[in-house]
Structure 1
Amino acid sequence: MGEKRIIDRAKLFIYEHARLLDRKRYEYHFEGGSKGAVIEALRAYQNSDGGFGNGLEPDLRGPHSHPIPTEMALSLMEELNSYDVQILEGINSYLREHTLSEGGVPFSLRSVNDYPHAPWWTAEEDSQPSINPTGRMLGLLYKQQTRPEIVQEEYFIRSVAYVWRYMEQERPVGYHDGIHALAFLQLTPERERASQYQPIMDQWLSRPDTMERNPRAEGYVHKLLDWAPLPESYARKFITDEELEEHLQVLITQQQEDGGWAIAWPPVSPAGEQEWRGLITVERLLTLKAYGRL
C-alpha cells in the first residue's frame, strides 16, 4: 500500500469519526496545523479543579477529573513540545490537592463509579498510590521548563519519594506500569540513582513474556511498536531490525477498510470506540512517520 494511500484513507476516517482534539493533532503533524489549535482543543477537557476528565480518556465517560487523563494532557503537550502555562498551573493545583499523603496518585478515583466506564476503571478504594500514572507524570513535570518551579512543590517531593520506594520494593506488572517506571527513570535529574535501576528494568524488558513479539497477536496485548512507538524509545534497543520491519509491515496491513485502526479491547460505547480509534489512528500514523514509512 502506498504511503499517500495510507494517509489519505486515515485522513478520511479522522474527519469522519475522530473528535476535534485528534483532528487538530492530525492537522498539526500532517497538514501544517498549529500547536495552538491542539492546545485549545485540549483545554476543553480541563475542569475547574485543574485536572482533566470529560472523556479525554475515552473509556472514562464521566465529567470528573482523574489522574490518568491528567497525565494524558501532559503527554499531549509533550507530543507538541509545547506546555501551556495555564494548563500547567491547573494541573499543579490539581496535584497539590489530590496527591496522597505518602506521595503519588491513585490509578482511579471512586467518582468513576457513578458514570459509564470500562470495568478495569472501577474503584473500590482510592487511597493507594500507583506507578501508573505517577511515574510518567513526574517525569514530564521534570522535563517541562514552562513552570520549572513545580518540582519544588511539597506534593511533588513526596511523590518522587514514593516512586523511589516503588523502584526499591516492587517490579512493574505489565506494560502500563513498565512505561511509567521507565519514563520516570529516563527523566529524573537524579541520574546516578536512576542508573542503579537500569539493569533491573533491562532484565525485565528482556524477559520473553514482557513485550509481545508476535505482530499478529490478538486480544489486549502490547506489541513491540507499543513499547517503541518512536526510534528514540527506550525499548527500541531490545528489538531487532528484523522484528521492527515485520511489525511495521503488519501495522500497515492492519489499517481497516474505513481508514482507521481498531482497538483491542471491548469499548464502553460506540462513541467511546470511535474516539479511541481516532486517537489511535493518529498514534499509528505518527509511528509510521517516525520510522520513515510515511
Structure 2
Amino acid sequence: MNDNDVLSKAKDYIYRNARLIDRRRYEYWFEGGSKEAVIQALGAYQNEDGGFGHALEPDIRCPYSQPVPTELALAVMLEVQHTDLEMFRRLIDYLRKITLPEGGLPFVHKNVMEYPHAPWWSAERDDLPMMNPTGNILGMLWKQAFDPGVTDEDWFIRCVEYVWRTMDQEGQPTGYHEGIQWVNFLVNTPDQERAKPYLQRLDEWLAQPGVIELDAHAEGYVQKVLDWAPTPDSYARKFVTDDVLEAHLDALAEEQQEDGGWPITWPTVSPFVELEWRGYLTVERLKTLKAYGRI
C-alpha cells in the first residue's frame, strides 16, 4: 500500500466514525486545518469548574471534570501549540482546586461511578494522590508557554515535591502508564541536576527485558516500541536499535484495518466507544508514521 492509500483509507475511517475533536486533529496534521479549529472543538469538553469531562477520555463517560481528561486536554493544547487563554486559565483553576493537601492529583474522582466507565476507572476514594496523571501534567506545564508563571504557584510546587517523594519511595516505575509519568516529569523538570539519579533508575528499568515490547507482532495489551517512542526525539528511542524500529514501523503500517482505522487492544464500554478510541488512535498512528517519514 502506498502513502496516499494509507491516508485516503484513514481519512475515510475518520470522517465516518471519529469525533469532531479527532477530525479537527486529523485536518490540522494532514489537511492544513487550523489550530484554532482544534481548540474550538476541545472547548466543548470543558466544564464550568475549568476541568474537562464529557468522555474526552472515551472510557470515562460521565460529564463531570476528571483529572485524566484534563490531562488529555492539556496534551491537545501542546499538540497544536495553541490555546484559548481563558480556557487554559480555567483548566489551571481546576488543577488548583483538586490538588491534595500534601501535593499530588487524584487518579479519578469517585463520581465517575455514576455513569458507564471502564473497570479500571472505578474509585471509592478521590482523596489519594497518584503519580498518574500528576507527573505528566507537571511535565506538560513546564513545557507550555501560555502562562509560565503557573509553575511558581504553591499548588504546583506541592505537586512537584509529591512526585519526588513518590519516586524515592517506589524506586522504579511499576508499568508503562507510570513509566511515561516518570519520563515526562524528569525530562521537563528545570532541576536537571536533581533529576540525574532518577533518570539513571528510569534508564535501568527501561532497559529491562519486556518493559519495551520489542516483538513487533506481539498481541494483547502490550506497549511496543512506537508506544514508547512515537517520534524520533522520544526519550525511549535510545533503547531501540534501528532495525527493530524499522520492523515496528513496518508492522504499524500493516496494522491498518480494511476500514482505514487502527485497532485498539483493550475492551471498551461499548461498540460506539471503540469507534471513538479508534478515531483518536488512528490520528496518533498517522502522526507516528509521518514523524518517521513513512507518509
Of the structure 1 ranges 232-241 and 163-172, higher mean CA displacement relative to structure 2 is found in 163-172
* 8 A contact 1:103–1:159 mirrored in 2: yes
- Does structure 1 residue 35 correspond to structure 2 residue 22? no
Of the structure 1 ranges 164-173 and 56-65, higher mean CA displacement relative to structure 2 is found in 164-173
Which residue of structure 1 lines up, in the alignment, with residue 73 of structure 2?
Answer: 73
Which residue of structure 1 lines up, in the alignment, with residue 3 of structure 2?
Answer: 3
Which residue of structure 1 lines up, in the alignment, with residue 52 of structure 2?
Answer: 52
- Does structure 1 residue 175 correspond to structure 2 residue 176? yes
SS of 1:197's partner is helix
Q: How many residues matched? A: 294
* Structure 2: distance between partners of 1:41 and 1:5: 27
Q: Structure 1 pair 248/73, CA: closer, same or farther in 2 (3 Å)? A: same
Q: Structure 1 residue runs of 4+, over 6 Å off?
A: none
Q: TM-score, normalised by structure 2?
A: 0.98
Q: TM-score, normalised by structure 1?
A: 0.98
CA drift of 1:168 comes to: 1.3
* Structure 2: distance between partners of 1:38 and 1:9: 22
* Structure 2: distance between partners of 1:217 and 1:109: 34
CA drift of 1:144 comes to: 1.0
Which residue of structure 2 lines up, in the alignment, with residue 221 of structure 1?
Answer: 222
CA drift of 1:84 comes to: 2.9
Which residue of structure 2 lines up, in the alignment, with residue 277 of structure 1?
Answer: 278
| RMSD of aligned Cα (Å) | 0.8
* 8 A contact 1:84–1:146 mirrored in 2: no
SS of 1:196's partner is helix
* 8 A contact 1:10–1:260 mirrored in 2: yes
Residues 6-41 of structure 1: per-residue CA shift (max 9 Å, x gap): 000000000000000000000010000000000000
Q: How does 1:214-253 map to 2 (within 5 A)?
A: 214-253=215-254
State, as a whole percentage, how many aligned pairs show the same letter. Answer: 57
Residues 16-69 of structure 1: per-residue CA shift (max 9 Å, x gap): 000000000000100000000000000110100000110000000110011011
Which residue of structure 2 lines up, in the alignment, with residue 92 of structure 1?
Answer: 92
* Structure 2: distance between partners of 1:189 and 1:84: 25
Residues 193-245 of structure 1: per-residue CA shift (max 9 Å, x gap): 11221111000000002111111111111111000000000000001101100
* 8 A contact 2:98–2:106 mirrored in 1: no
* Structure 2: distance between partners of 1:193 and 1:281: 37
Q: Which amino acid aligns with 2:232?
A: P
* Structure 1: distance between partners of 2:87 and 2:228: 28
* Structure 2: distance between partners of 1:151 and 1:245: 38
Which residue of structure 2 lines up, in the alignment, with residue 260 of structure 1?
Answer: 261
Structure 1: 5+ residue runs without aligned partners?
Answer: none
* Structure 2: distance between partners of 1:113 and 1:214: 37
CA drift of 1:83 comes to: 3.5
* Structure 1: distance between partners of 2:144 and 2:37: 20
Q: How does 1:14-25 map to 2 (within 5 A)?
A: 14-25=14-25
* Structure 1: distance between partners of 2:199 and 2:42: 34
